[in-house]
Amino acid sequence: MNEKFKGIFPALLTPFDGQNRVDTEVLGRLVDYNLQKGVDGFYVAGSTAEVFLLDAKERLAVMETVSSRAGGKCTLIAHIGCISTKQAIEYAREAKEMGYDAISSVAPFYYKFSFEEIRRYYFDIVDAVDLPMLIYNFPAFSGVNLTTDNIREFLADDRFLGVKHTSSDFYALEQFKAGFPDKVVYNGYDEMFLAGLSMGADDYVTKPYNPQELAARVRSQLRRYTLLGDIHTAQREGLLVNGRLTYDTAERVLRADGDVVKLTATETKIVDLLMRNRGRIFPAEEIYQRVWEEEAFAPENTVMVHIRRIREKIELNPKEPEYLKVVWGIGYKMEKIENHV
């Protein structure tokens, strides 16, 4: 594997000023900050940059700003993905002119292309531009799930650098690396960084990078492993394990990444109900009756406030909850998350 593509690659966001224009000065400062923190490269104009909300001029401004600020100082990967092959090739050519080290693209989406059409899209790009291609596999957003067999067709070609795998399918990730050990396999989700590494990922592409945060997450995962040991043993001993969360049914204590979550008595009752019934949707009325133990009269606001407070304590991003979810028009549930310890 080419050593220049190893390490931490922040997926840069796109800052805007008060006039809704791309703020290239702020973007430049963000690049400088990350360079000072020791990152190894940048993934530019991807999902975190909200690239599909940018017009062509804005997209090129982002690429040019990063190139001018970081070119020669680290490795640069430009996401050039589009529905249009012609437009993707144009962005790829611009990336080469700007000095980018590689290009990347999500699969063409929306029109439900066949795999043969997707395959042709990628090969048309690498035929047209002499830069290594990193496949961007992001099923949740693109609606296209490239299978292990699909990815093999690309990685067998030397012009394909590897794959950026933003998915919780760690079996697929392991298969990518096992089949092509010399190719780069990036893990996309921040929250699944350690699990991805354990399954063979070389490194990861993350949102704007904070080394202190990463160190804290590593420590918390080690604490969690020390606390739980084997998941199946933990389950037998009354610990309910759900992704980053563990709930001790005997002590009625919730932990996130091994750290105790401070809950009120009412919040604990809600967590107890939802953790014991992961995946089940509870209407607000039922939650109210079972937690407050009284008849429910217009309980929606009361339950909603408590759910929001619990989210703020357990979610990495309360605005985009991974665990405590609302099912509009029906109720609330604790999402059942696969465990990878």
Contacts of 246 (CB under 8 A, 6+ apart): 224, 227, 228, 234, 239, 240, 254, 255, 258
Average pLDDT score over residue span 276-282: 94
159 exposure class (CB count in 10 Å sphere: 0-12, 13-18, 19+): middle
Contacts of 14 (CB under 8 A, 6+ apart): 22, 27, 49, 50, 51, 54, 58, 62
Q: Cite the DSSP H helix spans in the chain.
A: 24-36, 56-70, 85-98, 115-128, 139-142, 148-155, 170-179, 193-198, 211-228, 231-236, 265-276, 284-292, 300-314
Element (H, E) at 186: strand 184-187
Residue 317 has phi, psi (to 5 degrees) of -135, 95
Measured CA angle at 140 (ends 138, 141), to 5 deg = 75
Write down the residue that tokens 């079996």 correspond to. Answer: 171
| pLDDT tops 70 at residue 237 | no
User: Residue 195 and residue 205: Cα distance in Å, rounded?
Assistant: 14
Average pLDDT score over residue span 259-263: 91
User: Residue 18 and residue 58: Cα distance in Å, rounded?
Assistant: 15
Strand partners, 106: 136
Contacts of 110 (CB under 8 A, 6+ apart): 83, 143
Average pLDDT score over residue span 311-318: 92
Average pLDDT score over residue span 192-220: 48
> Is 313 a known active-site residue?
no
- Residue among 43, 91, 164, 323 flagged as catalytic: 164
| pLDDT tops 50 at residue 236 | no
- Residue among 100, 136, 247, 288 flagged as catalytic: 136
User: Residue 108 and residue 176: Cα distance in Å, rounded?
Assistant: 21
Question: What are the extents of the domains in the chain?
Answer: 3-209, 229-334
| pLDDT tops 90 at residue 217 | no
User: Which whole-number Å values give the CA distances from 325 to 191, 282, 336, in the listed order?
Assistant: 17, 11, 11
Q: What is the pLDDT of residues 110-167, one digit of tens each?
A: 999 999 999 999 999 999 999 999 999 888 778 888 888 999 999 999 999 999 887 7
- State the pLDDT at residue 2: 67
Q: What is the pLDDT of residues 182-202, one digit of tens each?
A: 888 887 644 444 444 444 344
- State the pLDDT at residue 213: 52
User: Residue 194 and residue 173: Cα distance in Å, rounded?
Assistant: 13
User: Residue 125 and residue 78: Cα distance in Å, rounded?
Assistant: 13
Residue-averaged pLDDT of the chain = 84
The answer to whether domain 3-209 and domain 229-334 are alike in fold is no
CA Rg, the chain, in Å?
A: 22
- State the pLDDT at residue 338: 67
Share of the chain above pLDDT 70, in %: 82
Please, which pLDDT band fits residue 218 given cuts at 50, 70 and 90? Answer: low
Return the top range by mean pLDDT from 164-168, 244-248, 298-302.
Answer: 244-248
Please, which pLDDT band fits residue 46 given cuts at 50, 70 and 90? Answer: very high
> Is 323 a known active-site residue?
no
| pLDDT tops 60 at residue 334 | yes
Q: What is the pLDDT of residues 2-31, one digit of tens each?
A: 678 887 888 899 999 999 999 999 999 999
Average pLDDT score over residue span 36-43: 90
User: Residue 153 and residue 160: Cα distance in Å, rounded?
Assistant: 10
Which pTM does this prediction carry? Answer: 0.59
229-334 fold: Arc Repressor Mutant, subunit A (1.10.10)
Asked: is 3-209 a CATH 3.40.50.300 domain? The reply is no
Return the top range by mean pLDDT from 7-16, 165-174, 231-240.
Answer: 7-16
Please, which pLDDT band fits residue 339 given cuts at 50, 70 and 90? Answer: low
- State the pLDDT at residue 341: 43
* Cβ proximity of 1 and 163 under 8 Å: no
Q: Could you tell me the end-to-end alpha-carbon distance of the chain, in angstroms, rounded to an integer?
A: 27
- State the pLDDT at residue 168: 64
Average pLDDT score over residue span 246-251: 89
